[in-house]
Structure formats: structure tokens, C-alpha cells
Structure 1
Amino acid sequence: MSGTVRQISVVLDPSTPYFLRVDWAEDLGAGYTLALSDGSSSWIGEVPEEEVTREAKELGVKREKYVEDLHQALTGGGESGKGSGGVAEKEEYLFHLSPDHGCLSYEKKTQIGVLVSVGAVELHPAPDPVELNREMIGHTLEHSADLEAENRRLQEKNQTLRQEQQHILADLEQHVQDIETMEGDLFSRFIMVLNEKKAKIRALQDTIRHFQQQLDQGVEEQENHRVTGVTVKSKAGDSIKKDQKEEDDLPQSFHPSQAPTVLIRDVSSQTSSMEVTVSDSKDVLPSCKHGLCYPQSPESKVKKPSPDQK
């Protein structure tokens, strides 16, 4: 069973304070009871669930929306809800009490000044107003104590959350410092590695440049050797052609190898001493010399001496 006690004022007698107590089982949509007191007199009333449903249908709103408005009117003061745009709307709730205190109605005044009926309850005089007032005072004190306990619990929870927040902030700051230190270390290592890579790249570029220069120099030397070889070959060809031309200019009957051949054959055929060989060579050499100076005809070739001449 839940209930609240609040102070209200009626439109016809705003100077007189009234105390309204509302009790319900599950929610106001399942039915609720009212107790109204001005300090000396008390009235009670009851609204069943069927009445709540009927009022919602008559207003043409959903039951949940109607129960929300009803709860704000009876327990939540004069402000309620949010508009369609998500902005809080200020809604004023007005209470009307009949002159004979037999009916209490409540309306909602929207922001544009339109009055919307929320509900009404029929009141009856309380059989024991003093006891009802005591109950209302006791309920108020009990509710105040509950609120104070809830307030202390929320303060303790708030303190715990604040301490946890401080610890989290300290840990977060430590993590940030560690991350910054790690980033600096990693950045310095990265710079070191990058410089090493740059040095290696420069060394490789120098090596490639050196190899390229050597390759270009080798190609140039090969080109020079090739040009030199062609020149040498051309000179050798010219000299060979010149020699061949000189040989062609010699008489056709001249054979330089004939005289030595005759001498060798004479020497090989001798079985006597060196004197005979020398004397034969002296006889042959003038003919060779003569042959060099005067070309001989094919008929005047040196004939091989016969055995009798020897």
C-alpha cells in the first residue's frame, strides 16, 4: 500500500490550506482513496478502477497517459511531463471544492491556458476526523523519515561514487602519463629505426651509384677496345693487302724456297765429310744469289747433280 500527503488550495477559498492524502494499491489506475482535511474537519472518498477507465475513455486519451496526469495532479504538485519536442512543459493543476464539501474535482491548465478535466471524487464526512488527522500526521512523519533515510542513503552512495570517481580520475591520469611516456619511447625508437633505414638506403644508393659508374666505365672501355680492335684490324688488313700486292708484283718464276731446298737435299745426300758440304754450298749459293738478282726462266731451274758430278 502506497500513499502520499500534500497541501493543496482550492480555487474558491485559496487562503485556507487543505491537506490531501492519497492511497493506492498498485497504481492510481487500479483505484485509489482520498482523505481531505482542513485541520478541524475531514472528508473521505474513493475512486474505483472502473471509474478511472471510464474517465480515460471520456477524455479520449490512453489509460497510461491518463494515469500519469492523475498521478501528477494528486501527488506531483503543479508541474508535469514533457512536450512533444522533449522540452519540459509547465502544467498547473487546479482543485475545485463544492460549497458543501461533497465533491472534489481537479483540472489541468495547459501552457496555452486550456483547462482539461482530470477527474473528480465524491466526498463524505469522515466518521472520526481527529483520528484521521492523527493518521495523516503520522503518515506524514513516517514519509518524512523515509525520505530522510533515502536522502542519507543517496548521500552515502553519492560519497562512494565521488570517491570512486576520484580513484578513476587518478587511475586515468596515471594511464595517460604512462601512455604519453610509452608514446615518447616508441616515437624515439621509431626515429632511431627510421634514421638507420635512411642510412642503409643511402649506403645502398651509393653502392648502386658506384656499381653504375663501374658498369658505365666498363662499357666505355669495351667500346674503346672495340674501336681500337677495328683500327688494328684495318691496319693489319692494309698491311696484309700491301704484302700480298708486293708478292704479286714479284716474277712468277721466282721461288724463294727452291735454293735452300736444293741445299738441304745436297746436304742430306752427302755421306762424306763437312768439307764436301761446304764446297757444295759455295757452289750453290752463287746461283741462289744470281737467281735473286736475275729472275730465271722455268727452263733454267737448278737441276739436281748426278752421281758422276759428285
Structure 2
Amino acid sequence: TCLKLDTSAVGGPPEPIFIKGTWFATRFDLAMTDGLQAWVCHATEEEVTERASNWDQNASDYVEFAGRYLGFQQPGSVYVVSDAENGCKRVSFTFEKEGMMKLEWRWKLQPSSNSKKTTAEMMEFLMDANIRLSEEIMWKTKAIDELKLEMEKCVEQSERLCREKIAFETEIYGKFVHVLNSKKAKLRDLRDELVKGDEKSTA
């Protein structure tokens, strides 16, 4: 993951800070840059397990939790990047546990031995992610266009069938009316003949 972190609201620098996280089952790596300097952290399984035990978590839950908050800036959480000793930086964010307790997650990052390389790797990661996202959007847009085309075909077919149904019903109704009128005419003729026959017999 790579988070573009804005800490200006809590007194942080006006420029955004990028934090890249690489998440494993029970450990993680962090890299952070402000565009000029970079800091890194390689949290071992032992360190993660120790931190997790303080919150009654196992290591995998702790990593999943950290990845969620450092993958996307969570609303309602306060993120802070502060100075630590020897040029280190401390990343922290607040969160609520069980909807009541306000807790703080924090971890210290060491200065990168090669800030340019660390920053370049993060920018490359972002560019690759942007390319993948662009490709995904392109394929989804294509799929949506194809779906719209199929929908238009279905609507056109439905309208055509509706017109054909109306035309068929109109034709059948016309024939039925014609037959009905013909039957009525024959019945009238028969009735007239019967009336004439009765008149002759009475005469």
C-alpha cells in the first residue's frame, strides 16, 4: 500500500508525506518520504508479536490492523509524523477500541541509508499502481460500454416485439370483428327468413 498522508491539520508540514507499507503475515516494512528525505522501518515478527500482545492481539491481526490504517487515511483518526532522536521519525495515528477507548498506534522509522533510492522506489511503486489502475479503469469502461450496447439491443428487440405484438393483436382483432359481423349478418338474414316464413304460414 502507499498512503498520501496530509498532516497539515495537526501542525504537520504543508507538503504531503508518502508512506509505503509492505505487509506480510506477521511482520511489515514501512518506507516514508517527504520528497527529499526518506525513512524506513523493518518491523520483525518478534517486535510485532510484542506490540500485539499489549493490545490482546496476535501478530497477524496487528499487521492487518496497521495495514488498514496506513493503507487508507481513516476518517476520525488523527495522524501525526513527529521528530524522534537521531534523525528518526515517529508515525502515529489514533483509533477507538470497542467504541470507547481512544488509543494511539505508533512506530519509529530510521533514516534511510539512501533517501534518493527509497524515494525513487516509492515513486516507481506509485507509477506502477497508477498504470494498473488505468488499465483496470479501461477494461471496466470497455465492459460497461459492451453492457450498454447489449442493453440497447435488448431494448430495441423488446420494442420491436412489442410493436409486432400490437400489430398481430390488431390484425387478429380486425379479423375477429369481420367474422363476428359476418355471423351477425347471417343471423339477421336467418331471423328475417324465419319471420317471413311465419307470416306466410299465418296468412
Q: TM-score range by the shorter chain?
A: 0.5 to 0.7
Give the share of equivalent positions with the same residue, in percent: 16
Residue 23 in structure 1 maps to residue 7 in structure 2: no
For each residue in 1:186-208, what CA deviation from the matched residue of structure 2 results, as whole angstroms up to 9, or x when unmatched? 44455567x47x95xx88xx8xx
Q: Which residues in structure 2 correspond to 1:38-77 (within 5 Å)?
A: 38-47=34-43, 48=45, 50=49, 54=53, 57=56, 67=64, 70-77=66-73
RMSD of aligned C-alpha atoms? 4.0
For the residues of structure 2 that align with 1:76 and 1:190, how far apart are their CA atoms?
70
Q: How many residues align?
A: 177
Does the CA-based 8 Å contact 2:40-2:110 persist in structure 1?
yes
1:36 and 2:23 matched: no
With over 3 angstroms needed to count, the CA separation of the structure-2 counterparts of 1:137 and 1:182, relative to structure 1, is same
Pair 1:180-2:166 in alignment? yes
Q: Which runs of 5+ in 1 are unaligned?
A: 79-90, 211-310
TM score, norm. by length of structure 2: 0.65
Shift of 1:136: 0.8
Give 1:126's aligned amino acid. S
**Structure 1 equivalent of residue 3 of structure 2:** 6
**CA deviation after TM superposition for structure 1 residue 42, in Å:** 1.6
Residue pair 2:23, 2:67 contacting (<8 A) in 1 also: no
Alignment check: 8 A CA contact 1:107 1:117 kept:
yes
> CA deviation digits over 1:86-113, x for unaligned, max 9?
xxxxx3332122321443112248xxxx
Matches of 2:19 and 2:127 in 1, distance apart? 15
Aligned match of 1:148: 134
* Larger displacement relative to structure 2 (35-44 or 184-193): 184-193
- TM value normalised by structure 1: 0.45
Counting only pairs closer than 5 Å after superposition, residues 177-256 of structure 1 correspond to structure 2 as 177-188=163-174, 191=177, 195=180, 199=184
Opposite residue 9 of structure 1, the aligned amino acid is D
Equivalent AA in structure 2 for residue 45 of structure 1: C
Deviation string 1:117-141 (CA, Å, 9 cap, x unpaired) is 4733332222222210110111111
CA distance in 2, matches of 1:138, 1:9: 21
The answer to whether the Cα contact below 8 Å between 1:107 and 1:118 also exists between their aligned partners in 2 is yes
Report the CA distance between 1:34 and its aligned residue. 1.5
Q: Distance in 1 between matches of 2:52 and 2:177?
A: 76
Q: Helix, strand or coil for the counterpart of 2:78?
A: strand
Letter in 1 for 2:92: S
How far apart, CA to CA, are the structure 1 residues paired with 2:166 and 2:115?
73
Q: Which has the higher contact order (CA 8 A, sep 6+)?
A: 2
Q: Residues 182, 23 of structure 1: CA spacing in aligned structure 2 closer, same or farther, 3 A cutoff?
A: farther
Q: CA deviation at 1:31?
A: 4.2
